[in-house]
Structure 1
């Protein structure tokens, strides 16, 4: 799938990032998003944070935002908030996130799940070592270029995903007492949504997941890829 060019910022103005964080505390939404605020600022973004979903009803703010970074696990979103978020992405605002902060959000909102392209269903108990395999055909994608397969010690997400996502990396679930064969599961993907872009990584339950160089690199690159 070809990557469409992104428009330049008007008059070279700084890009604007909005970090929306909250929901279940187990994913440490403030601590983990704080890991990426210096990076975004170093990349020339002005950064605003919000700990309320009401920001998704502010059409003027969202229209002026180049990138939404969301880390909001579970919780409930109103129809107005969900529609505002989806409309802003369709109009060109990027959306990016990781783990439950983007694919275990607003479980009752099917429209949101269509926007992100995936929904968390389960993970095996606890943390365990597993490999993340980069899709060879996507090796030249800006999110992956120069990276290799890697291993993490964290939760491994089993997901329901949209066939229209562009899968960049996968993880394999081996057969067990429930599954009679190995299953290859998307772990990192992108998608287009109208004029906007969406980046999702299933890795990122805890802060030290991002100490793995490949996890940190592909997440940072994903934020930049998704941005207007």
Structure 2
């Protein structure tokens, strides 16, 4: 165990279908083992507490849909700009809120997924294979939701997923699935993977998510 005495804040809530408590709880022991004191919040008013956020090294957000107020969004934005890390997965970070300013922060926004669960794969971007989030990992397959997203061209895409041609378009689409970015002094990690708890039983998914949390942290 490290002794850095860092602080992580897990902000969770919104739509219950993404099991925000169950899935975030599965990462708490990992963070504690890395030396973090972990707190949880189930109310977005925590983003209005500038002093608390300034003392936080990492925010792990799992909040699908819902509404964020301008004051809450601005509080989160300022915290990240001044060095607090932000990390999350799937709808808990890219299907959060209907606020364009928030999605400028995360660098991506959920648009749709094909109905149900389907078998699909993820590939590490060859040019980014040495990034600490994905270093040493190979491509992997998953049966779960596959997210179609819109992304900021300035994000650093680490892994992609392929949407095959369909009845509407005869061309495949290579879709960003895992990315990082900086925002002022802060770092942000986003993975579109993680609809259900057993998605994280896939070793590559668990590993890149854990690494992403650490990478984003102050």
- TM-score (structure 2 length as normaliser): 0.98
| Matching of residue 28 in structure 1 with residue 19 in structure 2 | yes
Q: CA deviation at 1:13?
A: 4.7
Within the alignment, does 1:193 sit opposite 2:183 as a pair?
Answer: yes
Unaligned runs of 5+ in 1: 1-11
1:224 to 202, 208, 214: 214
Q: Alignment partner for residue 180 of structure 1, among 147, 167, 170?
A: 170
2:84 to 93, 105, 116: 93
Distance 2:181 2:103 in 1: 12
Mapped to 1, the partners of 2:54 and 2:169 lie a distance apart of 45
- Partner of residue 54, structure 1: 45
Alignment match, 1:164: 154
Check the 8 A contact 2:4/2:36 in 1, yes or no.
no
In 2, Cα distance between equivalents of 1:174 and 1:135: 18
Tell me the TM-score normalised to structure 1 length: 0.94
* Structure 2 portions without partners, runs of 5+: none
SS at match of 2:119: strand
How well do the aligned residues superpose, as a CA RMSD in angstroms? 0.7
Structure 2: how far apart are the matches of 1:20 and 1:173?
Answer: 31
Paired with 1:223 and 1:172, the residues of 2 have a C-alpha distance of 25
What does 1:1-228 align with in structure 2 at a 5 Å threshold?
A: 13-107=4-98, 109-228=99-218
- Count of residues in correspondence between the two structures: 216
Runs of 4+ in 1 over 2 A off after TM superposition: none
Q: Quote how far apart the aligned CAs of 1:15 are.
A: 0.6
